[in-house]
Structures are given as structure tokens and as C-alpha cells.
Structure 1
């Protein structure tokens, strides 16, 4: 692995972190530094939408705060597989664990947990690495 590949891998990992922090902090405009304008996002495994990035961004901003007071993603085991010889595109899989708080129906709070894989198709753009496709793959959930 040369220094350029190490740099690409670190930059891709940073995009993943940027994604989870934007969602956790409800900083929806920061998702513009995660996804390409034409990206497609699939949240159907968790009961969400499957649509183009602008539609999903608006959906997240409207729906996520209605159900979940706080979320706190943790990522691990990031696998990056280059999909072209120029190393300008990659399939990226990251494990995630995401505890989320929600109203328990009696004025208190309960914790729900989702775990699974984020599957991104990443591309190098003039602005840096971006995701052109995200598929959320739920492996387990509890507390719902």
C-alpha cells in the first residue's frame, strides 16, 4: 500500500464519520459533503425510504427528529474494495451500531438499537470522496 492509497482510505473513512455525525447532530446540510448530488439512498431495511439524495435529505430532516430524540452511531470494520484500476471508485462496507432514544409513551425515554452494515459506492470527485449510493443493511434491532 502506497501513501496515496493510505490517504484515500483515510479520506473515505472520514466521509463515513461525516455521515454519522451529520445524522446524529441533525446537521442535514453537512450531508452535502457526504453524497454526490445524484446519489441514491436506500433505508428500506429499517422502514425508511429509497430515493434520490435530495428527497432523502428532506425526509431525514422531517422524520428522524419526530421519532428519535438522539442517535449515536458507532462505526467499525471498514472494508474498502477498489472498483477500478485508477482507484477513483470503491465499494465500502462499514459495520454500525446505532443506539437511539425515543419517547416511551409515558413521558420518559427508552433506547432502541439498530446494528448492521452501511454499504456505500464511493467515487472521487473534485471536492473529494463522496458516496453515490448508500444501502443500509439491518442485521439486528431491539427495543422497538
Structure 2
């Protein structure tokens, strides 16, 4: 059963990139809980609740000419009806009208807490952090709640400070 749960969770994590890049905001309902808390360091913002999160991400991403989000390196820990997942991400944003170059690329990680629901596993709390970036920092324009933050983060420092939920969960066992 745990292996089935892990596979289902990885499917949810990967669906995020496709839903985001296709602007298929309805698919966020299959990824995130209604009461999700989403903390996105690269966006310089956090959201409480799925409706606000979807609205804000739709507004920000429609200002781009294209983007690609790659999810990889998933590790998952299932603990009954709660689970923790950690993934790495690469993000390519393209905006042709940006002065100084049309692309910005970032790398970082997602630290997720998920819950089992009647519709399957859903992300209840997501923390996204930027590790590095290259390209034109003017590509991700401020929009509504989005205030692009190019501050980079070192995973080791977050781990040492006890800020990685996945590591905390597997060490508690």
C-alpha cells in the first residue's frame, strides 16, 4: 500500500508542472487541498486557500510568453493519512518583451506536506525555495501579490535550522 501511495503522490507532484505550464488551472483542484498554504520564495509571496492561489498564479503566468517547470528527484514519506515529499525543480520563464533578454531560469526545491482525501493525495502545505538563477531578472515581473525575489537559499542551511518538513518527518521515525 505504501508503494502505491508513493506512486500516487509522485503523480500529483508531476501533474503540478504540466498544469502550470498548460495554464490548466482546474487541475490544481487535483493537486492542492482547498485550505492549502503555499509559500513561494521566488514569487516573494504566500497564499492561504486554493482559490486565491489559483487566481494569483493565473494572473502572473499569463504575463509570460511561455514557461516550463520540471519536477524531479522526488522522495516521499507516508505516515498514515499524511505524507511528506521533497522534490527539486527547474523553472524556465520566457517574456519576449523583457528589456535585457527574454529568459530567466531558476533551480530550487519544493518541500510538501500532503493529506489523503476522498479524491486522493493533495498538497496541504507547500514551501518552494530558490537555490540559484541565471538570465534576465526582469523576466518575472511583479504582478498583484507576486514580488519576484531573487534571494537564493542553501538547502544545507535550511536543513540545519530544522526548516525542511520532509527531513523532520523521516528523522522522527
When the two structures are superposed, what TM-score results if normalisation uses the length of structure 1? 0.86
Which protein is richer in strand relative to its size? 1
Measure the CA separation in 1 of the matches of 2:25 and 2:127.
Answer: 18
In structure 2, the partner of 1:60 is 57
Deviations 1:2-29 (A, max 9, x none): xx11111110010011111111111111
Question: What are structure 1's unaligned runs of at least 5 residues?
Answer: none
In structure 1, the partner of 2:74 is 78
Runs of 4+ in 1 over 2 A off after TM superposition: 103-106
In structure 2, the partner of 1:28 is 25
Contact kept in structure 2, 1:80 and 1:91, CA below 8 Å? yes
* Pairwise CA distance, 1:81: 2.0
In structure 2, the partner of 1:134 is 126
Q: Does 1:101 align with 2:97?
A: no
Contact kept in structure 2, 1:98 and 1:113, CA below 8 Å? yes
Q: How many residues align?
A: 135
Measure the CA separation in 2 of the matches of 1:36 and 1:50.
Answer: 15
When the two structures are superposed, what TM-score results if normalisation uses the length of structure 2? 0.72
In structure 1, the partner of 2:167 is none
Q: Does 1:117 align with 2:109?
A: yes
